[in-house]
């Protein structure tokens, strides 16, 4: 669908789910791929699969909520490849569905540190590298809950609203310097994260499907296709946008 030959791409949260699927797809499109995540073994496995199909890349164990980790990540990319063209800021965590009064400060800090601070730190250190490369494309992972309210998960919902705000603001700041910044906002997608939510609340599976106009849960590949388009020159006139991949959930 998309040719990204000669490009260097970074995927945070590339150890599983949408991040892993996107890393593999970027490599299939010709990009050299760097996978970042907190789980070393899983990151190396993503790269092994990329290399097994003839692709190129490496993994860096990274906690995006720590600025020193993000700095080291970008330095390794620039040392190894000398450029960065694409960044998919996908690292994130979910929130257990609990009443507001039972939610803890530790939960708030964990979600905000990874989902918001992690995206901000990634943008902060990716953009100088992209500018040195003459520009590029950034895609942040938001959620349909970055666009509408989500009862019982207000912290997660707030974190994704923040990602939407970061996306718009940073897109405007760098649009004339050749950097496009967009978001992808998935609905319920069949990933390990969704499996964890369903395990904690089995009835949620039935409720999710009932709430989907399209009548099913989405697949990672359906989000990947949107991300690849936003990363490619095919979307050259698109910036500051949130591309919703949700089976019609938020328009009902």
* Alpha-carbon span 249 to 252, nearest angstrom: 6
| Rounded distance between C-alpha atoms, residue 39 and residue 91, angstroms | 12
* Contact present, 155 and 111 (Cβ < 8 Å): yes
First to last CA, the chain: 30
Cα gap 6→65, rounded to integer Å: 29
Catalytic site residues?
Answer: 156
* H-type alpha helices, the chain: 17-28, 40-52, 67-81, 105-112, 118-132, 154-174, 192-200, 203-210, 220-231
């Amino acid at each position: 669908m998309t040719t990204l030959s000669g490009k260097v791409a970074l995927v945070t949260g590339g150890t599983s789910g949408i991040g892993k699927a996107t890393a593999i797809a970027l490599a299939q499109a010709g990009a050299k791929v760097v996978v970042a995540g907190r789980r070393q073994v899983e990151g190396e496995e993503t790269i092994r699969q990329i290399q097994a199909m003839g692709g190129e890349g490496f993994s860096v164990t990274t906690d995006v909520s720590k600025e020193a980790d993000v700095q080291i990540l970008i330095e390794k990319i620039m040392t190894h490849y000398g450029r960065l063209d694409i960044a998919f800021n996908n690292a994130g965590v979910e929130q257990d569905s609990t009443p507001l009064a039972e939610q803890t400060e530790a939960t708030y800090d964990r979600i905000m540190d990874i989902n918001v601070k992690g995206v901000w730190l990634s943008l902060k250190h990716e953009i100088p590298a992209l500018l040195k490369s003459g520009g590029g494309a950034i895609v942040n992972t938001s959620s349909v809950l970055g666009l509408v309210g989500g009862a019982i998960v207000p912290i997660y919902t707030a974190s994704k609203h923040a990602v939407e705000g970061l996306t718009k603001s940073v897109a405007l700041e760098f649009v004339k310097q050749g950097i496009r910044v967009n978001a992808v906002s998935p609905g319920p997608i069949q990933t390990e994260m969704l499996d964890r939510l369903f395990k904690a609340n089995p009835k949620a599976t039935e409720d999710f499907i009932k709430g989907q106009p399209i009548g099913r849960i989405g697949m990672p590949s359906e989000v990947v296709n949107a991300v690849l388009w936003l990363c490619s020159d095919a979307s050259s006139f698109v910036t500051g946008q949130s591309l919703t991949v949700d089976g019609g959930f938020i328009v009902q």
